C-alpha cells in the first residue's frame, strides 16, 4: 500500500469510526464506545487513527511500514530527531552544535518524499477499555462489522470494521 492509499484509507476509517459510534441507540453501548478507540492494525503492529502521517507512523508504529531503504532511513531520522530534542531540552547551555544537527534532521524529514514508503495492508479495528463481553457481543452484530474477520464464538473480542 503506498502513502496516498494509506492516508486515504485512514481518512475513510475516521468517517467509518464516527458513523459506527453514532449508529447505536443503546446508551450503555454509546458510553462503552466513548472509552474505546480505533486503530489501524496490520500483522506487524498497529497505529492510532490520529497518528497516520508518515512522521508519526515512523515514530510510534514503524512496523506498519514495509522495510526498505526509504523507511529505514526515515525511522532513523525520526528517532534521531526525538533524541536530539531530549538532549537539547536537558541541557542548560543549549549547545549550538546540537541545535544545528536538530535543524539538519528536521529539514531532512520535512523534505522526505513519503511516496517512497510502502505500508503493510491495514484494517480498522476497535480497542476496548475493558472486557464487557455482553456489550462487545452486541457491538459485533453491527452492520459496520466485517463478519468474515471476527470470531463467531463468544470469547472472541476482535471487532474489525468494514471500510469500503
Domain with 29, as residue range(s), is 1-51+125-164
For residue 139, give every residue at least 6 positions away whose Cβ sits within 8 Å of its Cβ, in sequence order, or none: 24, 29, 32, 33, 126, 145, 159
Residue 103 lies in a domain: no
What distance in Å separates the CA atoms of residue 137 and residue 141, rounded to the nearest whole number?
7
Residue 97 lies in a domain: no
pLDDT at residue 149, as a whole number: 82
Residue 71 lies in a domain: no
Residue with grid cell 479495528, as numbered in its chain: 125
Alpha carbon separation from 59 to 39, 83, 132, 147 (Å, rounded): 16, 11, 32, 32
Alpha carbon separation from 76 to 81, 83, 91, 102, 127 (Å, rounded): 9, 10, 23, 13, 29
pLDDT at residue 89, as a whole number: 81
Residue 154 lies in a domain: yes
- Interhelix angle 96-111/69-90, nearest 10 degrees: 150
pLDDT at residue 92, as a whole number: 65
Residue with grid cell 496490520, as numbered in its chain: 42
Residue 159 lies in a domain: yes
pLDDT at residue 156, as a whole number: 63
Q: 101, exposed or middle or buried, with CB in 10 Å at 0-12, 13-18, 19+?
A: middle
For residue 8, give every residue at least 6 positions away whose Cβ sits within 8 Å of its Cβ, in sequence order, or none: none
What distance in Å separates the CA atoms of residue 16 and residue 47, rounded to the nearest whole number?
16
Residue 140 lies in a domain: yes
- Tens-binned pLDDT, residue by residue, of the chain (164 aa): 999 999 999 999 999 999 999 999 999 999 999 999 999 999 988 999 989 999 999 999 999 999 999 999 999 999 999 999 998 887 766 678 888 999 999 999 999 999 999 999 999 999 998 888 899 999 999 999 998 887 666 556 778 888 86
Number of domains into which the chain is organized = 1
- Residue 151: CB atoms within 10 Å: 10
pLDDT at residue 152, as a whole number: 65
What is the grid cell recorded at 122? 491495514
What is the grid cell recorded at 124? 480498522
Residue 57 lies in a domain: no
pLDDT at residue 45, as a whole number: 87
Residue 119 lies in a domain: no
pLDDT at residue 90, as a whole number: 77
Amino acid at each position: 500500500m503506498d502513502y496516498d492509499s494509506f492516508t486515504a484509507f485512514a481518512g475513510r476509517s475516521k468517517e467509518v469510526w464516527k458513523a459506527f459510534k453514532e449508529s447505536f441507540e443503546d446508551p450503555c453501548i454509546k458510553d462503552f464506545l466513548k472509552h474505546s478507540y480505533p486503530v489501524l492494525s496490520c500483522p506487524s503492529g498497529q497505529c492510532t487513527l490520529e497518528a497516520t502521517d508518515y512522521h508519526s507512523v515512523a515514530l510510534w508504529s514503524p512496523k506498519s511500514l514495509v522495510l526498505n531503504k526509504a523507511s529505514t532511513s526515515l525511522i532513523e531520522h525520526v528517532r534521531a530527531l526525538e533524541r536530539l530534542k531530549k538532549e537539547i531540552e536537558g541541557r542548560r547551555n543549549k549547545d549550538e552544535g546540537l541545535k544545528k544537527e536538530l535543524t539538519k534532521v528536521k529539514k531532512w524529514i520535512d523534505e522526505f518524499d513519503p511516496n517512497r514508503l510502502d505500508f503493510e495492508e491495514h484494517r480498522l479495528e476497535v480497542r476496548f477499555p475493558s472486557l464487557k463481553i455482553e456489550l462487545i457481543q452486541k457491538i459485533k452484530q453491527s452492520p459496520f462489522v466485517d463478519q468474515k474477520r471476527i470470531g463467531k464464538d463468544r470469547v472472541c473480542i476482535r471487532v474489525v470494521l468494514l471500510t469500503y
